[in-house]
Amino acid sequence: MRPGIALIGRLVCLLASIWLACSGLPAQAATTERIVVNRFSGVAIEGFDPVAYFVDGNPRQGTAEFEANLWGAVWRFRNEGNRASFMAHPEIYGPQFGGYDPADIARGVVVAGNPRFFVIAEQRLYLFSREDNRDAFAANPERFLYEVGKRWPALQDKLSQ
């Protein structure tokens, strides 16, 4: 057999093996900058269940068994009920500003929020990059939201879809 044909045959086998290995994985969305996602998997907010913040009062890890694709991101949930609630009202359960820290946005920069630092204010979920940002926001959310309202549209336009 000619060396070129053997090399092509090995390449085809390698690609088929990779395809078979990946075919059992959960569906993944294309990544976006508008939502804080893992750039390799497309999973939003580190796989935490956004509805659990409201139901349980704490961050809880979702599972690949209960996923939904929305806004260019993969969202994970603890159960079917949480997934259904999110899909019915993503504007309520999804983190505001795509999961970016509103305290940083108020300063004119976008920094990914950490799902472990959160506040629920006015029935909306906010994630923060640092505990001190969370604490400052919790003390006076109206002040931060006023500043964010002025800066977020321009900052959001700079993020890729």
Would you list the domain boundaries of the chain?
45-158
Q: What residue has token string 């949480």?
A: 82
The rounded average pLDDT for each run of 10 residues, N- to C-terminus, in the chain (161 residues) is: 52 40 39 82 96 97 97 96 98 96 96 97 97 97 96 89 55
Q: From the CB of residue 157, how many other CB atoms can be counted at a distance below 10 Å?
A: 7
What pLDDT is recorded for position 32? 55
- Residue 63's H or E segment, with its range, is strand 63-70
Q: Are strands 73-77 and 63-70 parallel, antiparallel or unpaired?
A: antiparallel
Buried (b) or exposed (e) across 13-44, using 16+ Cβ within 10 A?
eeeeeeeeeeeeeeebbebbbbbbbeeebbbb
Q: How far is residue 132's CA from residue 104's CA, in Å, rounded to a whole number?
A: 11
User: What's the pLDDT tens digit per position in 48-58?
Assistant: 999 999 999 99
| pLDDT for residue 126 | 98
